[in-house]
């Protein structure tokens, strides 16, 4: 076994342990992951404020912790519940993956990127015009998510 392989396996094992530790702490703090099955979107409650919801995926979250550190308990808990955290004892190199975009899919992806960029530009312009609007919009979005959650969405528990 090459030294590079040993270093990679150790780093992967430590990363998996760190993610599992974050997931366990989020679970102890009472974080709940909600899933909207129609679109497959996940939201997580805050461990400190159960009325606060964050949009979360196994690799990203819109909470302040993820913004600051690049990882958080919400994303780690979701990854754990989806069994995406690898077993630290079996941390081999990842298998290569090839993604081929067909012409129609590529055009759709470009259109989605343009739409996201335009939305981001418009949000920046709105924030510059009214600095308090972002806080009000975020509060309204959280309230709307909470209403949708209460109206029959599933709850994913670990």
Closest CA to 55 of 66, 68, 44, 71: 44
Tens-digit pLDDT profile for residues 69-121:
888 999 999 998 888 887 666 645 555 555 555 555 556 677 777 888 888 88
Per-residue pLDDT, 105? 52
Strands (E), the chain: 33-36, 41-45, 53-57, 60-61, 154-156
Q: Where are the domains of the chain?
A: 3-156
pLDDT band at 125 (very low <50, low <70, confident <90, very high): confident
Tens-digit pLDDT profile for residues 35-47:
888 888 999 999 8
Contacts 24+ apart (CB under 8 A), 130-138: none
Nearest 5 degrees, angle CA 55-CA 57-CA 60?
85
Which range has the top average pLDDT, 6-10, 25-29, 105-109? 25-29
């Amino acid at each position: 076994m090459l030294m590079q392989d040993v270093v990679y396996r150790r780093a992967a094992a430590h990363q998996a342990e760190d993610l599992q530790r974050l997931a366990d702490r989020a679970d102890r703090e009472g974080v709940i992951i909600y899933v909207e099955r129609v679109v497959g979107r996940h939201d997580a409650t805050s461990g400190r404020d159960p009325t606060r919801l964050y949009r979360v995926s196994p690799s990203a979250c819109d909470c302040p912790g993820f913004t600051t550190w690049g990882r958080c308990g919400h994303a780690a808990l979701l990854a754990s519940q989806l069994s995406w955290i690898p077993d630290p004892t079996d941390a081999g190199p990842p298998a290569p993956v090839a993604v081929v975009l067909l012409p129609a899919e590529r055009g759709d992806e470009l259109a989605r990127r343009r739409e996201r960029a335009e939305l981001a530009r418009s949000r920046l312009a709105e924030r510059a015009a009214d600095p308090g609007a972002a806080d009000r919009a975020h509060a309204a979005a959280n309230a709307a998510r909470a209403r949708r959650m209460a109206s029959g969405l599933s709850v994913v528990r670990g």
